[in-house]
């Protein structure tokens, strides 16, 4: 795509149709009014626009749009990010590029982000009810580690960041972390004994891969499917723990007292 074509797509369109690989782009547009001063060579004077652009970037992009994207990733798996923000100004009726800045990164590419019709309302409710940062520090740390998994090239490091997230939530101490994390995940997420058994087995297997990676530095046995599966468990654990409204100690005590398939906080 030429520079001119990219300019037209980013500045004039709201939606770029999918390419041959199913990738698409939505352009979110907004505007604000400022008085820009120009130098003798007809270039915008930074002192006349820099603070206004920074304020808009912080309030509308970082605090609002980026929060929406982060919560959308927590709501459902899929590759979605804000790759760049571009600011244009009009001069004699013609749009000109003022500046561009990267906003978000999503380096580990997974399945495309697709919302089914019945999921749209659920997402809207989720966005309204979920506050960032989370009130519990352990949950916020787990969420930040979850986010890191989208932002690193190395699949092994992404896998470790997800396991750190799971341990932050579900490991009460340093004793038997493999068993405790696996069992707590199984009780927290399993809706019936059979599902809990499956989760227990899968998380235990993922933890074994984590241990081999940490002790040998080799991640040849970790595939993209492992990362997606682990991220799915982390995602659901964050949402489930936030829904209970309990502290970490309270919830882990409850999990320890429950058997597979028992979730009293949902009753």
Q: What are the two backbone dihedrals, phi and then psi, of residue 195, each rounded to the nearest 5 degrees?
A: -65, -40
Under the banding of pLDDT at 50, 70 and 90, the label for residue 29 is confident
Task: Please tell me the distance from the alpha carbon of residue 151 to that of residue 148, in angstroms, as a whole number.
Answer: 5
43 and 138 belong to one structural domain = no
DSSP 63: I
Under the banding of pLDDT at 50, 70 and 90, the label for residue 1 is very low
What's the gap between Cα 141 and its chain centre?
Answer: 13
Residues in CB range of 79: below 8 A, 6 or more apart: 106, 109, 110, 111, 112, 113
| Mean pLDDT value across residues 153-158 | 89
To which H or E segment does residue 61 belong?
none
Task: Please tell me the distance from the alpha carbon of residue 160 to that of residue 231, in angstroms, as a whole number.
Answer: 11
Q: Is residue 117 in some structural domain?
A: no
137 and 98 belong to one structural domain = no
| Mean pLDDT value across residues 216-234 | 90
Task: Please tell me the distance from the alpha carbon of residue 89 to that of residue 22, in angstroms, as a whole number.
Answer: 32
Q: Are 177 and 167 in contact (CB under 8 A)?
A: yes
72 and 189 belong to one structural domain = no
Domain count, the chain: 2
Structure tokens belonging to residue 44: 């915008």
Q: Is residue 120 in some structural domain?
A: no
60 and 179 belong to one structural domain = no
According to the model, what pLDDT value does residue 204 have?
Answer: 96
Place of tokens 């966005």: 127
Q: Is residue 65 in some structural domain?
A: yes
According to the model, what pLDDT value does residue 82 have?
Answer: 84
Residues in CB range of 185: below 8 A, 6 or more apart: 166, 170, 199, 200, 203, 233, 237
Q: Is residue 118 in some structural domain?
A: no
Supply the range of the domain harboring residue 158: 133-266
Task: Please tell me the distance from the alpha carbon of residue 159 to that of residue 209, in angstroms, as a whole number.
Answer: 9
Burial class (CB in 10 A: 0-12, 13-18, 19+), 246: middle
Out of 23-27, 126-130, 164-168, which region has the weakest mean confidence (pLDDT)? 23-27
pTM of the model: 0.85
Task: Please tell me the distance from the alpha carbon of residue 233 to that of residue 28, in angstroms, as a whole number.
Answer: 31
Alpha-carbon separation of residue 126 from 28, 62, 197, 231 (angstroms): 21, 19, 28, 19
Q: Are 170 and 252 in contact (CB under 8 A)?
A: yes
């Amino acid at each position: 795509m030429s520079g001119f074509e990219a300019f037209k797509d980013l500045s004039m369109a709201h939606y770029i149709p999918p390419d041959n690989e199913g990738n698409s782009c939505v352009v979110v547009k907004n505007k604000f009014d400022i008085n820009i001063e120009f130098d003798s060579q007809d270039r915008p004077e930074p002192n006349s626009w820099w603070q206004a652009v920074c304020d808009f970037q912080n309030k509308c992009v970082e605090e609002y749009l980026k929060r929406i994207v982060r919560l959308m990733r927590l709501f459902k798996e899929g590759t979605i990010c804000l790759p760049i923000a571009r600011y244009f100004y009009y001069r004699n009726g013609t749009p000109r590029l003022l500046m561009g800045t990267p906003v978000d990164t999503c380096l580990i590419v997974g399945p495309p982000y697709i919302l089914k019709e019945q999921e749209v309302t659920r997402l809207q409710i989720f966005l309204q009810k979920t506050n960032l940062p989370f009130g519990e520090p352990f949950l916020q740390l787990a969420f930040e580690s979850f986010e890191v998994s989208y932002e690193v090239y190395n699949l092994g490091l992404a896998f470790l960041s997800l396991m750190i997230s799971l341990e932050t939530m579900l490991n009460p101490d340093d004793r038997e972390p493999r068993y405790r994390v696996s069992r707590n995940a199984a009780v927290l997420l399993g809706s019936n004994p059979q599902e809990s058994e499956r989760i227990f087995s899968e998380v235990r297997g993922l933890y074994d891969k984590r241990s081999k990676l940490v002790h040998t530095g080799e991640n040849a046995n970790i595939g993209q499917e492992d990362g997606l599966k682990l991220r799915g468990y982390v995602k659901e654990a964050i949402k489930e723990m936030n829904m209970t409204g309990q502290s970490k100690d309270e919830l882990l005590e409850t999990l320890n007292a429950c058997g597979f398939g028992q979730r009293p906080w949902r009753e």
